[in-house]
Amino acid sequence: MATVAPARSQMSDAEHEARQQLAACYRVFDMLGWSEMIYNHITLKIPGENGAFLINPFGLHFSEVTASSLVKIDIDGNKLADSPYPVNRAGFVQHALFHRHLPDAHCIMHTHTTAGMAVSSVEGGLRPINFYACNFAGQIAYHDFEGVTVRDEEGQRLLEHLGDKRVMLLRNHGILVMGRTLPEAFIKHWSLQRACEIQMATLAMGTPLEVSADTVAVHQRDLHQAQAPGGPGAADFAAMVRLVDRRDTGWRQ
């Protein structure tokens, strides 16, 4: 695939690192079965560049994304580097909104996984009925489906419904997570996806056992104390990148 980003000598170390990390993440998502044709998005801010962020080129499958093909845009959607690829408006509108208004939303992930869409489409959403779901009890916001997210005026409602949370189930739509770092957003997405998968399996078997609020509180407290080294998700994400590299290192280009 042709290189379309600026030469390494023409970009900051921060941009180079962000491109490498984000391209790896797209390949990890594909490896885990979270691709959805050429749709869905993961975006990542470039530190020190006043809101500039990277997004996947519209038209490429997650398995085709490379560091150089990522599109660099500003908060208003203007391209900041030459690229032959367009940006999907449905991705830009939602992600730019949160990048603009939430300083801690450094990385944003949105997917249409089967489990995520299924749980977002049932009354009650995610229930505290398994280990992973208990991580998110009281931590998830919900936003009612309004169609494809291409209208700017939906943004205020998205922000209001999100509130101080950084995980949202878009009803009848899918998963939306945010993190202060990409690995943090990754481990949130992975854990939420697992919670949704297990809920689907449990409900297919019978009546689930709900965990009490008191036990959930203890679980969340102890989970926080048991974080792996390097910050939330760092070791997990690094392990996934090693697996991707065993398959193909072309994403680094």
Q: Quickly list DSSP for 69-92.
A: TSEEE-TTS-BSS--S----HHHH
Which residue from 68, 104, 100, 74 is spatially nearest to 185, judged by alpha carbons?
A: 104
Residue 90, pLDDT score: 87
Residue 3, pLDDT score: 46
What predicted TM-score, i.e. pTM, was given to this entire model? 0.94
Instruction: Output the CA angle 23-25-31, nearest 5 degrees.
Output: 110
Residue 5, pLDDT score: 63
Residues in CB range of 10: below 8 A, 6 or more apart: none
Residue 47, pLDDT score: 95
Torsion angle (degrees, nearest 10) of CA 173, 175, 176, 177 = 170
Residue 226, pLDDT score: 77
Rounded-to-integer distance, Cα 43 and Cα 95, Å:
7
* pLDDT values of the chain reduced to their tens digit, one per residue, 253 residues: 444 566 676 799 999 999 999 999 999 999 999 999 999 999 999 999 999 999 999 999 999 999 999 999 999 999 999 999 999 998 888 999 999 999 999 999 999 999 999 999 999 999 999 999 999 999 999 999 999 988 889 999 999 999 999 999 999 999 999 999 999 999 999 999 999 999 999 999 999 999 999 999 999 999 887 777 899 999 999 999 999 999 999 999 9
Query: What letter represents residue 36's amino acid?
Result: E
Helix (H) or strand (E) holding 17: helix 13-31
Q: How many CB atoms lie within 10 A of CB 14?
A: 14
DSSP 10: G
Rounded-to-integer distance, Cα 107 and Cα 198, Å:
26
Q: How many CB atoms lie within 10 A of CB 51?
A: 14
Where would I find the H helices in 122-181? Answer: 131-136, 155-162
Which stretches of 146-235 are assigned E, i.e. beta strand? 167-170, 174-179
- Distance of alpha carbon 201 from its chain centroid, rounded? 23
State both tokens at 102: 């939430």
